[in-house]
């Protein structure tokens, strides 16, 4: 599970005054743990599970439509249609009195400072740090989720702290941390919190990083993309049936997210968790790489990450390292220039190599840099421009 710190510890660590910083005209407060359990579940929507009135901490959602007393959330492709009293698939949105509310604004349950390489982002200001925040909830149902303790929980079922956008930004500035990441659970489900924090951070000259399953509709994504600098998007497979079976979603919206970020000039990297028997098919990986080359080009890094038994998917063995190496070879042969392995400490697949002269550009030990040979965004040896975002590049 992700490392957690209390609000008091966070404010003390980053030197922020204890008084809350209010953003805009919204008023915020505290709501306690201990919400009631859902009476029934129909199509993954939690019926009659909303609080009777808006929590003091909740705000009206940004993207939704109304039809009488019913509302439809329009942030992600689930498009949950909720009657009064219902809660969304992601558990963080509710219909109260014919309006859609978010219950997770300004109440992160995970706060951490990470190396940017942990997101993972290998071509995005390597060696820098990032403040990572998350709230409870997810719009997927992956049985192998490594952060299921927060992603598969309701906001009132986790320990959280109060931290509003201005406080997150102030923490980053005071700690000289150049980036903020929206990560761990699923940033799409805390869209309002992500959007307001990213907008304010952008105005203050900080960078924003979205770490996401990519299951988001075009309009809210385009609005958010205007404040994004980097992203890592999970491409969980290249098969719609696998998405439906393993994740509870569909493939096309994720592909659309990748194309949208590409058109918006947001730097992103792609992660594929190689789940044995689900995502280790060579022909599927070839098709996936072919799509990436055709629609996005050869320069966006692809990370093949090793699966370990987690949560409900504990009957499978860990992905053999040999399988990851085979998939990396396929991707390189198909024409992708930068392909990495994840969750295999010490492997050469962690390093960055020039796609032209093939010399080592960045040698990594875990998430940390042992050798760096990129100057002004170019290979130190052959002067070839290296795709990514680099200091001075």
Per-residue pLDDT band for 57 (boundaries 50, 70, 90) equals low
Condensed to tens digits (0 to 9), the pLDDT of residues 252-292 reads 999 999 999 999 999 999 999 999 999 999 999 999 999 99
Q: What percent of the chain has pLDDT over 90?
A: 82
Quick one: pLDDT band at residue 315, thresholds 50, 70, 90? very high
The structure's pTM equals: 0.89
Residue 2 has pLDDT above 50, yes or no: no
Q: What is the mean pLDDT of residues 30-59?
A: 57
Report residue 54's pLDDT band, with 50, 70 and 90 as the boundaries: confident
State yes or no: pLDDT of 41 exceeds 80.
Answer: no
Does residue 180 surpass a pLDDT of 80?
A: yes
The angle that helices 191-203 and 218-225 make with each other, rounded to 10 degrees, is 20
Helices then strands, each counted (H, E), the chain: 9, 21
The Cα–Cα gap between 128 and 366 comes to: 14
Show the beta-strand stretches assigned E in 267-327: 267-274, 302-306
Domain architecture of the chain: domains with CATH: 41-102 (no CATH), 110-311 (3.20.20.70)
pLDDT on residue 217: 98
pLDDT tens readout for residues 349-367 = 999 999 999 999 999 998 9
User: Does residue 32 have a pLDDT over 80?
Assistant: no
Tens digit of pLDDT for each residue in 155-174? Answer: 989 998 999 999 999 999 99
User: What is the per-residue DSSP string for 127-164?
Assistant: T-EEEEEE-S--S---TT-TTHHHHTS-GGGS------
Strand order from edge to edge, sheet including 302-306 = 110-115, 129-134, 179-182, 207-212, 230-234, 267-274, 302-306, 339-342
Which whole number is the average pLDDT over 99-121? 95
pLDDT of residue 47: 81
pLDDT tier, 45 (very low <50, low <70, confident <90, very high otherwise): confident
Distances (CA, A) of 365 to 68, 124, 128, 362, 391: 57, 17, 15, 10, 20
Report which DSSP code applies to 175: T
pLDDT at 42: 43
What's the per-residue H, E or C state across 180-240?
Answer: EEECCCCHHHHHHHHHHHHHHHHHCCCEEEEEECCCCCHHHHHHHHCCCCEEEEECCCCCH
Residue 44: the pLDDT is 73
Q: What does the pLDDT look like over 211-251, one tens digit per residue?
A: 999 999 999 999 999 999 999 999 999 999 999 999 999 99
7 pLDDT exceeds 80? no
Worst-scoring range by mean pLDDT, 15-19, 46-50, 92-96, 341-345? 15-19
Mean pLDDT score across all residues of the chain:
89
């Amino acid at each position: 599970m992700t490392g957690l710190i209390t609000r008091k510890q966070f404010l003390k660590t980053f030197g922020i005054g204890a008084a809350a910083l209010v953003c805009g005209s919204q008023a915020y407060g505290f709501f306690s743990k201990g919400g009631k359990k859902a009476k029934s579940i129909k199509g993954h929507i939690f019926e009659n599970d909303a609080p009777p009135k808006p929590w003091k901490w909740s705000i009206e959602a940004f993207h939704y439509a109304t039809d009488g007393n019913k509302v439809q959330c329009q942030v992600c492709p689930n498009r949950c249609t909720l009657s009064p009293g219902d809660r969304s698939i992601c558990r963080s949105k509710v219909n109260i009195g014919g309006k859609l509310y978010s219950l997770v604004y300004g109440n992160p349950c995970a706060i951490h400072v990470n190396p940017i390489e942990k997101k993972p982002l290998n071509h995005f200001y390597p060696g820098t740090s990032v403040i990572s925040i998350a709230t409870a909830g997810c719009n997927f149902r992956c049985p192998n989720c490594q952060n299921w303790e927060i992603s598969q929980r309701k906001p009132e079922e986790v320990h959280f702290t109060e931290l509003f956008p201005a406080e997150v930004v102030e923490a980053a500035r005071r700690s000289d941390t150049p980036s903020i990441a929206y990560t761990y659970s699923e940033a799409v489900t805390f869209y309002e919190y992500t959007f307001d924090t990213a907008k304010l951070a952008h105005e203050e000259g900080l960078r924003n990083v979205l770490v996401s399953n990519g299951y988001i509709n075009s309009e809210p994504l385009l609005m958010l993309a205007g404040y994004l600098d980097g992203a890592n998007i999970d491409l969980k497979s290249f098969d719609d049936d696998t998405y439906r079976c393993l994740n509870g979603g569909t493939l096309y919206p994720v592909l659309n997210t990748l194309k949208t970020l590409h058109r918006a000039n947001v730097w992103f990297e792609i992660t594929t968790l190689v789940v044995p028997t689900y995502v280790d098919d060579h022909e599927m990986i070839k098709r996936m790489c072919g799509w990436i080359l055709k629609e996005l080009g050869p320069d966006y890094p692809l990370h093949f990450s090793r699966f370990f038994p987690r949560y409900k998917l504990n009957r499978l063995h860990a992905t053999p390292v040999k399988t990851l190496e085979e998939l990396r070879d396929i991707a390189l042969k198909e024409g992708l220039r930068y392909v990495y392995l994840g969750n295999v400490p010490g492997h050469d697949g962690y390093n960055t190599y020039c796609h032209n002269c093939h010399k080592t550009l960045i040698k990594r030990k875990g998430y940390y840099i042992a050798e760096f040979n990129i100057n002004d965004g170019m290979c130190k040896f052959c002067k070839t421009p290296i795709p990514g975002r680099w200091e001075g590049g």
